[in-house]
Structure 1
Amino acid sequence: MRIVNMGDWPLSQEDEQAHKPGGEPLWNESHYFDFVSEDGELGGYVRLGLYPNWKRAWYWACLVTGDGRRAEVIDHEAPLPGPGLVVAGDGYTASCHTPEPFGSARVRLSSAGLSLDLEWRTSGGVYGYALTPRYEVPCEVNGTIEGLGFRGAFHGHGERDHSWGVRDWWSISWLWSSGRLADGTQLHGMQANLGVALPWPAFRVPPGGELEHVADFSAATEFDGDRPVETVLRFPGLATRVRPLAFAPVTLTSAEGAVAEFPRAMCRFEAEDGRTGYGWTEWHQPPGWQEHGWRPPT
């Protein structure tokens, strides 16, 4: 298993397990799982965020279709999970399990309007961030889905990530994007909107190959009001346009009443050389987000 670790902290298989919480109120441990079919007609994501100092968890699960329909389970008052990351809330039960560290992960959800039983199997390697304890894992995704009129086997691709530490949703704006082109190329880029150029976390996986870090990544987004219309991901030698197909947003309210919007969307990816594909993109919008630099510095 190829591990590309850009950070100063050593990334090991033990990091797939739970981490000792810090004392900060906003310390959290986060598990993300997203997926999209090869034709872009069905996709979704799951996030489990553990907030031990708040004595609760956030659980999000969303399923969308290419024509914009959405089913979801959003719970910001979930109890902290037990072993196996099992969560039970009002009208749903869910779990996130990693039977094979860095190799595979399993997500299950049972609810009235949405049920998932999916496996994320690593394809290409594992990427550790440089600026924060976090890693991303490009994957093939297989299993079963029931929701929005769909019921049956699912095959597609996606990415999962795991992070831990302080995350202030109400002060930092960022873009995160991950997709797969039809020839099998996988792309990932993340950029905090700070108005300064930094070595942002980005990687590429060639068809059937291994993950490689990409230097000098940047992104720029056009908005219609608060709604993202198009993002250009600038990988060296390959600009890729990302256009939302179906949104699955979440609103986040702090203990002090500050409100952040988290528009996440299943997207179509269009590389400048003509290749196309699908994936997920998020444009996090804390209070005053319009003042952040959504274009790279010139």
Structure 2
Amino acid sequence: MRIVNMGEWPLAPEDEGRHEPGGEPLWNESWYYDFVAEDGSLGGYVRLGLYPAWGRAWYWACLVTADGERVAVIDHEAPLPGPGLSVSGDGYTASHATVERFRSARVHLASKELSLDLEWRTEGGVYGYAITPRYEVPCVVTGTIGGVPFRGYGERDHSWGVRDWWSISWLWSSGRLEDGSFVHGMRPNFGMELPWPAFAVPPGGELEHVAGFSAATVFDGDRPSETVLGFPGRATTVRPVAFAPVTLTSPDGKVAEFPRAMCRFESEDGRTGWGWTEWHQPPGWRDHLWQPSQQA
């Protein structure tokens, strides 16, 4: 298994566990797990975010289908989890476990709306960010959803540090193409040029950093309708199929919108696939679009 360390903090197996909290009000630690069926018929994601300074956690679990159905468990007042990253709230219980560090993780959710028992198995390697303590892991995803067998693909990530949802906008996108390639790209919504986190995994191969990543989005009002991910030599267009958004309110009342969507991916050479994309929209986000001339 290849581990690509882009930052100044080489990843260690212990990084799969919890980290000592910082003292900042917006310090948080989060784990994401997303998935899409092989045929794009359904997909979903889970996020557990710990906010020690607030004395609580955020828990999100969403499932969408290609024909527009959506179910979700959203709890912004969950208690901070104990050992094993287990949380519970009104009508749900959930657990999130590392089965084998950097190789396998498992999520279980039981609720009135949605039940999941899924495993994320690493495919191609682990990618450590350069600009924040975080890593992403492309995966094969198997298990059951509502008791029905599931097989698909997705990504999981883990990050820790200060995250200000109400001041910084960003785009994040991750998908798998039909030939077995994985692609991933992320960039904050400001003009500074940095080594933005981006990687690709060739079919059956190992993860490699991709330099020169860019992104341009067309919006219909506030809703994204298309994004072109600029991987040098292989641009990929992503189009939302089903949205699973979340509204985020800060302790002092600021509101940010988080329109996350299951997307169809299409490479300029004709390969297609599926994945997830998010376009984070804090207050004033339109003032900092990378290419505002491309708005609809």
Instruction: Give the TM-score range, shorter chain.
Output: over 0.9
The 5 Å alignment of 1:246-285 reads 246-285=242-281
Tell me which residue corresponds to 2:172.
Answer: 176
Q: CA deviation at 1:135?
A: 0.1
Q: Verify: 1:210 aligned to 2:206, yes or no.
A: yes
Cα distance between partner residues in 2 of 1:295 and 1:127: 27
Query: Does the CA-based 8 Å contact 1:52-1:80 persist in structure 2?
Result: yes
Q: CA deviation at 1:196?
A: 2.7
Query: Which amino acid is 2:44 matched to?
Result: G
Tell me the TM-score normalised to structure 1 length: 0.97
Query: Which amino acid is 1:169 matched to?
Result: W
The 5 Å alignment of 1:71-110 reads 71-110=71-110
Tell me which residue corresponds to 2:186.
Answer: 190
Tell me which residue corresponds to 2:47.
Answer: 47
Q: CA deviation at 1:202?
A: 0.1
Q: CA deviation at 1:296?
A: 9.4
SS in structure 2 of the partner of residue 67 of structure 1 = coil
SS in structure 2 of the partner of residue 96 of structure 1 = strand
Q: CA deviation at 1:256?
A: 1.0
Query: What's the CA shift string for 1:155-183, capped at 9, x where partnerless?
Result: 00000000000000000000000000000
Gaps of 5+ in 1: none
Tell me which residue corresponds to 2:59.
Answer: 59
Q: CA RMSD in A?
A: 1.1
Q: Verify: 1:163 aligned to 2:153, yes or no.
A: no
Tell me the TM-score normalised to structure 2 length: 0.98
Query: What's the CA shift string for 1:103-157, capped at 9, x where partnerless?
Result: 10000000011000000000000000000000000000000001xxxx5100000
Query: Does the CA-based 8 Å contact 1:221-1:229 persist in structure 2?
Result: yes
Q: CA deviation at 1:197?
A: 2.4
SS in structure 1 of the partner of residue 157 of structure 2 = strand
Q: CA deviation at 1:19?
A: 0.1
Give the fraction of aligned pairs with identical amino acids, expressed as a percent.
78
Cα distance between partner residues in 1 of 2:240 and 2:290: 17
Question: Closer, same or farther in 2 for the Cα pair 1:296/1:289, shift >3 Å?
Answer: closer
Cα distance between partner residues in 1 of 2:68 and 2:33: 20
Tell me which residue corresponds to 1:9.
Answer: 9
Query: Which amino acid is 1:76 matched to?
Result: H
Cα distance between partner residues in 1 of 2:192 and 2:137: 27
Query: Which amino acid is 1:64 matched to?
Result: V
Gaps of 5+ in 2: none
Cα distance between partner residues in 1 of 2:212 and 2:292: 11
